[in-house]
Chains A and B, each alone.
Chain A
Amino acid sequence: MAEPTAVRAAGNRLVEGLRAYRLIAAMWIRSTMAYRASFVMTTAGSFFANALDFVAIVLMFSRVDALGGYALPEIAFLYGLSATSFGLADLAIGSMDRLGRRVRDGTLDTLLVRPAPVLAQVAADRFALRRLGRVTQGALVLGWALARLNVDWTPLKLLLMPVMVVSGCVIFCAVFVAGAAFQFVAQDASEVQNAFTYGGTTLLQYPPTVFAKELVRGVTFVLPLAFVNWLPALYVLGRPYPLDLPRWTAFTPPLVAVVCCALAGAVWRVGLRSYRSTGN
């Protein structure tokens, strides 16, 4: 009976990782709260930094009625979904892009000798509660969009809403982990992953009809960001998907999220194994 043992071992490791993550994140929250005024200001800063993106979209709509055939509430819906799920992923493990610096200055070694999974430690490193600003901003835009949209709500569409946000968050988390694994090799090229994380969420804020077919194909089949919001959101909005994919693909985000996690986990292990300390 080898399999149940393996499953139990993996389960134990997950529990252990989550525990380590919780402890480290709680420590960073306590340290943040030591400077409360600074926390309030940086959270507001995170809120407004993201709000500006939406202000730019609103300014565009002061000059046009539709972009790529979509009205403002529809784009706000896409924006809100993308910003909320990305904001949650960024809040949870957005500090992973610091890994490159740790590889460079050798402080990653400290994490390796601690009796806790390295991934959990890197993910909770400098946990930044101020990123709640981004989540709040995304959720507010989403709320506004829901109030303004004319959607024929069905139980299925309602169910899809939370599924979409959670799966989207998990898919973005997988991108963060894969990006961090890349930094074992590339060290000070952490900016590359911004193209996929921050760039990805910006892309998803606009309807797929805006972009070239090849680009839409790329973020559907290669880096499956389309499953974060485009596919399920277009189902909710009653719009066809530009690549003529069947309607049921709107319900595949959880599956895609699981596959992404498995792949990102594998890449992470390869990256960690390839790590050579700078040796100080």
Chain B
Amino acid sequence: MGAGRLYAAVAAGGFRRYATYRAATAAGVFTNTAFGLILVYTYLALWDVRPHLGGYDQAQAVTYVWLGQAFLAALAIGGGGVEDELMERIRTGDIAVDLYRPADLQLWWLSADAGRAMFQLLGRGVLPFLFGALFFPVYLPSDPLTWAAFLGAVPLALLVGFGIRFLVAMSAFWLLDGAGVAQMAVLAGYFCSGMLLPLNVFPGALGEVVRALPWSSLLQAPADILLGHADPLGTYVFQGAWAVALLALGRLVQSAATRRVVVQGG
């Protein structure tokens, strides 16, 4: 089997696996819609007092909320990606089996996560977004090119998200119990990706810092392309640079970690 086909099969497996959790998916759709509802009303109140806050109008702010709910599970911003399983395999030592496979560890798990993300985006993301678009004033660009540019930013967002979560998982080689690191990563993810509040609303220097961090690639960057707020090419360069940097760092840590496995005699 060619390498490309192998990873495609792993991704398809990841997709199918999450597709079997039907009740959980329905529950996720319900919960994401409920949280979106609460958030939308608080944003409407906020933009009522300050129209054009952060350069968004009300409809754009509402669209931003539902995009966030659509991306939350897909990009595992609140946790729940393949990193949990990877960490568990490192802790139990099952990772040794993965290392014996004639496949690259990082690419293998990236493929599995991509399949998972694809399902979560379709299974849990689309319905809350449609609900939002139906019942609230939303901003939907009419230019298909804008939509295409937006869709181009989504895989890049996934690469950055996975890059961060792969590093989190690798920490388990040293800490064994990576729960603390995973929890910190979730907190940083929520706050710095703009799930709690759009990053362009953050005041002053804090805003500049969070917008430069990798997490802004997850939600803020694709949202700004869709809302006509950012130049797609510049955004791609930003996301791509972070993706390359994080994945390369992950590879470095991975090789250091696998040498550790040999030392431990796994």
* Interchain CB contact under 8 A, B41 and A191: no
Partner of B177, one of A38, A55, A196, A202: A38
* Interchain CB contact under 8 A, B23 and A189: yes
Q: With the chains together, A68 CA to B41 CA distance in Å?
A: 10
**SS class, residues of chain A in contact with chain B:** helix
* Interchain CB contact under 8 A, A55 and B23: no
A49 at interface, CB cutoff 8 A: yes
A186 at interface, CB cutoff 8 A: yes
Output the residue of B38, B177, B196, B202 with the most chain A CB within 10 A: B38
- What is the minimal beta-carbon distance from A58 to any residue of chain B, in angstroms? 10
Interface size class of B (residues with CB under 8 A): 20 to 34
Partner of A188, one of B24, B179, B183, B191: B24
Q: With the chains together, A190 CA to B26 CA distance in Å?
A: 10
Question: Chain B residues near A60 (CB, 8 Å)?
Answer: 42, 46, 197, 201
B31 at interface, CB cutoff 8 A: yes
Q: With the chains together, A147 CA to B124 CA distance in Å?
A: 43
Partner of B21, one of A48, A65, A66, A188: A188
Which partner residue on chain B sits nearest A212 by CB separation? B41
* Interchain CB contact under 8 A, B46 and A64: yes
Question: Chain A residues near B50 (CB, 8 Å)?
Answer: 63-64
A-B contacts besides A192-B31, A210-B44, 17 pairs, CB < 8 Å: A38-B177, A45-B180, A48-B187, A49-B187, A52-B196, A56-B191, A59-B201, A63-B201, A63-B203, A65-B49, A66-B49, A186-B27, A190-B27, A195-B35, A203-B38, A212-B41, A215-B41
User: What would be 27 A-B contacts, judged by CB atoms less than 8 Å apart?
Assistant: A41-B180, A45-B187, A49-B183, A49-B186, A49-B187, A55-B196, A59-B202, A60-B46, A60-B197, A60-B201, A63-B203, A64-B50, A65-B49, A67-B45, A67-B46, A187-B23, A188-B21, A188-B24, A189-B24, A191-B27, A191-B28, A199-B35, A202-B38, A206-B38, A206-B42, A209-B45, A210-B44
A to B contact number (C-beta, < 8 Å): 97
* Interchain CB contact under 8 A, B30 and A64: no
* Interchain CB contact under 8 A, B191 and A210: no
Q: With the chains together, A26 CA to B177 CA distance in Å?
A: 24
B190 at interface, CB cutoff 8 A: yes
A62 at interface, CB cutoff 8 A: yes
Q: Which of A182-228 contact B (CB under 8 A)?
A: 186-192, 194-196, 199, 202-203, 206, 209-212, 215
Q: With the chains together, A189 CA to B29 CA distance in Å?
A: 11
A42 at interface, CB cutoff 8 A: yes
- What is the minimal beta-carbon distance from B24 to any residue of chain A, in angstroms? 5
Question: Chain A residues near B49 (CB, 8 Å)?
Answer: 64-67
Interface size class of A (residues with CB under 8 A): 35 or more
B62 at interface, CB cutoff 8 A: no
* Interchain CB contact under 8 A, B31 and A195: yes
Chain B positions near chain A (C-beta within 8 angstroms): 21, 23-24, 26-28, 30-31, 34-35, 37-38, 41-42, 44-46, 49-50, 53, 177, 179-180, 183-184, 186-187, 190-191, 196-197, 201-203
A105 at interface, CB cutoff 8 A: no
Given contacts A192-B27, A210-B42, A210-B45, contact A45 B35 (CB under 8 A): no
Chain A positions near chain B (C-beta within 8 angstroms): 38, 41-42, 45, 48-49, 52-53, 55-56, 59-60, 62-68, 186-192, 194-196, 199, 202-203, 206, 209-212, 215
**SS class, residues of chain B in contact with chain A:** helix
- What is the minimal beta-carbon distance from B77 to any residue of chain A, in angstroms? 13
Question: Chain A residues near B203 (CB, 8 Å)?
Answer: 59, 62-63
Q: With the chains together, A62 CA to B54 CA distance in Å?
A: 12
Q: With the chains together, A38 CA to B178 CA distance in Å?
A: 11
- What is the minimal beta-carbon distance from A128 to any residue of chain B, in angstroms? 13
* Interchain CB contact under 8 A, A199 and B191: no
Q: With the chains together, A196 CA to B34 CA distance in Å?
A: 9
Partner of B23, one of A65, A186, A195: A186
Q: With the chains together, A48 CA to B45 CA distance in Å?
A: 26
Question: Chain A residues near B201 (CB, 8 Å)?
Answer: 59-60, 63
Question: Chain B residues near A206 (CB, 8 Å)?
Answer: 38, 41-42, 45
Question: Chain A residues near B202 (CB, 8 Å)?
Answer: 59
Q: With the chains together, A196 CA to B45 CA distance in Å?
A: 22
Which partner residue on chain B sits nearest A206 by CB separation? B42
Question: Chain B residues near A49 (CB, 8 Å)?
Answer: 183, 186-187
* Interchain CB contact under 8 A, A56 and B187: no
